[in-house]
Amino acid sequence: MVTGTARKTPTARESLLDLLSSIKDPELPVVDIVELGIVRDIIVDGDSVQVDVTPTYSGCPAMQVIEQDIVQALEADGFTNVKVRYVFSPPWTTDWLSDRTKTKLRESGIAPPMAIEGAEMNDLVTLRRTRKTISCPYCGSANTEVKSEFGSTACKAIHYCNSCHQPFDYFKDF
């Protein structure tokens, strides 16, 4: 609730991070934006605050919703001037997801991203390149195959489990 008076909570960065942890990724509601690693910095100056965020993918449509959610949450906390700034360097990577976050993804039926490999250029164009084994988030089987590297959102790929015959999303390593 915007009161126009002094803010209710302390200015400590940690407490604001806690506050931003209440904002979920709209396309991935099991994960919040701090866990996702897109909140890069918070700069407080009196009743003004700037939040630096980095987009996951260039065209991610969830970014606009997330920006609105950040502004709303901080204004409700008493800030009168909230600015969301986009930063692009260093680029977001799925290596920033913690093990705890990866477990949450798996529990919700999304295979978490593997660690990034330093793939050679030639690996890009080899039809029968060695693919990483993605374990099924439902039954744990390694007998899975990729159906398409582009799925329901920019960050997911479509996979299929040959053991439990269940299609599932893989959170792409990126």
Partner 1 sequence: MTETTSTSGNDDVLEYLLRLGDDRLVLGHRLSEWCGHGPILEEDIALANISLDLIGQATLYLGLAGETEGKGRDADSLAYFREGVEFRNLQIVELPKGDFAFTIARQFLFDVFSLHQLEQLQKSANKELAGIASKGYKEVRYHVRHSSEWLQRLGDGTAESHSRAQKALDELWRFTGEMFVGDDVDQRLGAAGVAPDLGEIQAKWRAMVSDVIQRATLSIPSDTFMMAGGRSGRHTEHLGHMLSEMQIVARSHPGAAW
Near partner 1 by CB under 8 A: residue from 44, 73, 87, 139: 87
Per-residue x/- mask for partner 1, residues 39 to 68, rule CB under 8 A?
Answer: ----------------x-xxxxx-------
DSSP string of 9-57? S---HHHHHHHHTTPEETTEEEEETTTTT-EEEEEEETTEEEEEE--SS
Give 86's strand partners: 53
Nearer to partner 1, 14 or 117 (CB): 117
Using CB under 8 A, which of the segments 14-22, 39-47, 67-75, 121-129 binds partner 1? Answer: 121-129
HSE-CB at 120 with a 13 A cutoff on CA atoms is: 5
Contact pick of 29, 88, 100, 115 for partner 1 (by CB under 8 A): 88
91 in contact with partner 1 (CB under 8 A):
yes
Q: How far is the CB of 148 from partner 1 (least distance, A)?
A: 4
By CB under 8 A, the residues from 1 to 40 that bind partner 1 are none
**Cβ atoms within 10 A of the Cβ of 39, count?**
21
Buried b (16+ CB within 10 A) or exposed e, 71-106: bebbeebbbeebebeeeeeeebebeebeeebbebbb
Instruction: Work out how close the CB of 12 gets to partner 1 at its nearest, in angstroms, rounded to a whole number.
Output: 29
3-state class (DSSP) for residue 159: strand
Q: How many residues bind partner 1 (CB under 8 A)?
A: 29
Binding interface with partner 1 (CB under 8 A)? 55, 57-61, 87-93, 119, 121-122, 124-125, 127, 147-152, 154, 158, 172, 174
